[in-house]
Amino acid sequence: MLDRLRDLTQRAYLRHLRREIEDVPTHVAIIQDGNRRYARERGEDAPDGHRAGADTTERVLDWCADLGVAELTLYAFSTENFERPDEELEPLFDLLEDKLRDFADADRVHEQGVRVRAIGDVDRLPAHVRDAVEYAERRTADNDRFTLNVALAYGGRTELLDAATAIARDVDDDDLDPDDVDVETVEDRLYDRPVRDVDLIVRTGGDERTSNFLPWHANGNEAAVYFCAPYWPEFSEVEFLRAIRTYQSREESWRRARAERAVALVRAVAEVEIAEAHAVARRLRARLPIDADALAAALPGDAEGPDEGGPAPETAARTPTGESDAEPESAD
């Protein structure tokens, strides 16, 4: 009974979260943390945790497809992970190989138009994993509705350092003018980069840090960040929608801030324009003092008399009421 009530409550909360979602990020990046801790707390080995995490990855792909997210980047294996013991790395490499091949052959992957790309120093991976990467990229190369980037042997600082080194080498070889170095120059020398800047980073497992993940594409875009406690194998659709809501709140805050800045700018410009108009008027009054009588005399056809050489007016000027303002003649 309690489980049924909990299930009903969760489904109701999911519906509530879905109704709240209006703005969806184009590119979500996820740091899949907590696989080993998940296994350890259950008395299992690390590879068991990684296999459970792989199942979560497949569910996240479905959630992205449902919401309309266009690109997903998964931090599957960092450069620091090479320091783990061989008895942990070998099963992990085998799992990566199997999942890449299975994913590339899955019917739903091609039905959803998913293209797989690996980013990172892939050459450092074992040959069988590199072969699986090449297979997955080749099998999904024609898909264009959704992009899945798998970060393998990836490190953000290493990526930027390699790009800077490549630029310096090109400059030293006279293949590049230093004055021509711009954003596009750097991006061309990053790893096979994500198509889009990152809008939202999600990290599971409780740690509140982005671990050197996509610094150029996420930090440069001021991506929203969502940290959550569940380990990656426990990551649920509720947590995913909460992360999307965090992005949406950030976007709404930015829109308000931009609108407020625009209003403030318009007011500031208006105040300057008004102040300048008053200043011009004051300068004109100071330089061109206006005498009412002189102005009246200067106007053509005025009541004082004709222009020089012109005939005298036959009637007196009229007041606004139509009455003559000339003095009546005295009666004899």
Mapping DSSP onto H, E and C, the string for 95-126 reads: HHHHHHHHHHHCHHHHHCCEEEEEECCHHHCC
Q: What is the pLDDT of residue 322?
A: 43
The residue extents of the domains of the chain are 2-259
Strand-by-strand arrangement of the 27-31 sheet = 114-119, 146-154, 71-78, 27-31, 200-203, 224-227
Bridge-based pairing state of the strands 200-203 and 27-31: parallel
Neighbours of 270 (CB within 10 A): 10
Active-site positions read 33, 81
pLDDT value, residue 300:
58
Structure confidence at residue 17 (pLDDT): 86
Q: How do the pLDDT tens digits run along the chain, 332 residues long?
A: 777 777 788 788 888 888 888 889 999 999 999 999 999 999 999 999 999 999 999 999 999 999 999 999 999 999 999 999 999 999 999 999 999 999 999 998 999 999 999 999 999 999 999 999 999 999 999 999 999 999 999 988 888 888 899 999 999 999 999 999 998 888 888 876 667 899 999 999 999 999 889 988 887 778 999 999 999 999 999 999 999 999 999 877 655 545 555 555 566 666 666 767 677 667 766 665 555 555 456 555 544 444 444 444 444 444 444 444 444 443 44
How many whole angstroms separate alpha carbon 282 and alpha carbon 105? 80
Give me the pLDDT at residue 260, please: 52
How far is the CA of 12 from the CAs of 30, 60, 247, in angstroms?
26, 20, 22
What is the pTM (predicted TM-score) of this model?
A: 0.71
Torsion angle defined by CA atoms of residues 269, 274, 275 and 278, in that order, rounded to the nearest 10 degrees:
160
On whether the CB atoms of residues 151 and 73 are closer than 8 A, the answer is: yes
* Structure confidence at residue 314 (pLDDT): 45
* Residue carrying structure tokens 């790395």: 89
- How would you label 12-33 residue by residue, b for 16+ Cβ within 10 Å and e otherwise? eeeeebeeeeeebbebbbbbbb
Q: What is the pLDDT of residue 176?
A: 92
- Chain centroid to Cα 234, Å, comes to 28
CB contact at 8 A, 161 and 128: no
> What's the confidence (pLDDT) of residue 272?
65
Closest C-alpha to 115, from 188, 194, 55, 189:
194
For the domain covering 2-259, report its CATH number.
Answer: 3.40.1180.10
What pLDDT was estimated at residue 276? 72
Write b or e for each residue in 146-184: b if 16 or more Cβ atoms lie within 10 A of its Cβ, otherwise e.
bbbbbbbbbbbebbbeebeebbeebeeeeebeeeeeeee
User: E strands within 129-265?
Assistant: 146-154, 200-203, 224-227
Distance of CA 239 to the CA centre of its chain: 21
pLDDT at res. 321: 43
